[in-house]
Structure 1
């Protein structure tokens, strides 16, 4: 992969999202479309963004019984996504069925722990141990289920990479040095995540909400 940066295009207006993608396309490696975008614009919106000519990452975080998740994966074959997310906490059978139902060229990656959560949040949901412990457990589960990789924060990707040498690691919640953290709790810089083994770097607001998105994308690209 020449450029590991996937721009998170979670904008409510389709025209604005497509225009932004076209502006920065030469300085990112792909485009991530999340739940907000997909609920607002559906398959039509994905097809429109795909016209920009970059790989599409559908961040749908599928989490349901195995049969339902498999059906959802089959339903999005026509969109030809390069990456699709499911929740690791859905269990091994769900992960196995998701991978079996995915398109031949689609990587299935399991979300371990959202970057908006910390150890206190884990405790409140009945999960013991540190975020690192939790992510390592789910990394092992994802590996055993035979999917392609995981989604984790930059603070855990180094450990996950050591545990799963040939895994595919998606790291969101990244912030360039000096930028606002916002609602993220476990952040690192894009360069640190890449050095620690990240395969894909998901970056949204530092580019999409910058005064000059093209320059912001160029600046991040230059650090890699």
Structure 2
């Protein structure tokens, strides 16, 4: 799979998604469907996007008891999406059962979705992690520990800020997938994100794939913004 730019569909309806896609290049894209959109539209939108050739990162961040996550992943595997995720904080048994659910639910003849784990949300600061989540140590240490746990549990990669990618590769190897949200073009508002970078910086830090939302979806010219992201992301070092 080519190192992707994944567009976060920050919408709540199928109509809004379709309107946005009319402003984008008429070619297959890599799209992220998160909780808001999936809970409003269900599997029908996923089927429609896949029929049009798009790749899908279904970003639902499952985090529950192992059996529930296993059965949930078994159901999601039937949607033929490309990437799904869990929270690493659910522990190794939960993550292993998630893999088992995907293996059991993936129809014959198609590739199993890649499974990645959220380490720490890009909206979480080190202070919040320590004082509210009661996780001791630094963000680097916490993210690195969750990445190692995800790898030993059989997952293909993790979600993190680009800022933590070097530490993840140090612990898990260069081939371990790092999907990094918190990407903004220079000068764009960061919103509720705390640990953000530009596409150029994410590339230099070694991200495997970047997730870009409002810098594209909120732009008055989404295609131009997307092409700018691609140009920064694919520039040769």
1:76 has 2:76 as partner = yes
Q: CA deviation at 1:27?
A: 7.7
- Secondary structure at the aligned position of 1:108 is classed as strand
Partner of residue 161, structure 2: 153
Partner of residue 195, structure 1: 204
Stretches of structure 1 that go unaligned for 5 or more consecutive residues are: none
Partner of residue 176, structure 1: 185
TM-score by length of 2: 0.89
- Tell me, yes or no, if the aligned pair for 2:77 and 2:112 is still in contact at 8 Å: no
Q: Note closer, same or farther for the CA distance 1:6–1:26 as it changes in structure 2 (3 Å cut).
A: farther
Q: CA deviation at 1:191?
A: 1.9
1:218 has 2:237 as partner = no
Give the Cα separation in 2 of the matches to 1:22 and 1:2.
24
- Tell me, yes or no, if the aligned pair for 2:23 and 2:223 is still in contact at 8 Å: yes
- Tell me, yes or no, if the aligned pair for 1:27 and 1:218 is still in contact at 8 Å: no
* Count of equivalent residues: 224
TM-score by length of 1: 0.94
Q: Deviations over 1:39-74 (max 9, x none)?
A: 101111211222331111100000001110010011
Matches for 1:1-224 after TM superposition, within 5 Å: 1-2=1-2, 4-25=4-25, 29-102=29-102, 103=106, 104-123=111-130, 124-165=132-173, 166-224=175-233
- Secondary structure at the aligned position of 1:138 is classed as helix
* 4+ long deviations beyond 3 Å: 25-29
Q: Note closer, same or farther for the CA distance 1:26–1:155 as it changes in structure 2 (3 Å cut).
A: farther
| Structure 1, 122-131 or 213-222: larger mean CA deviation | 122-131
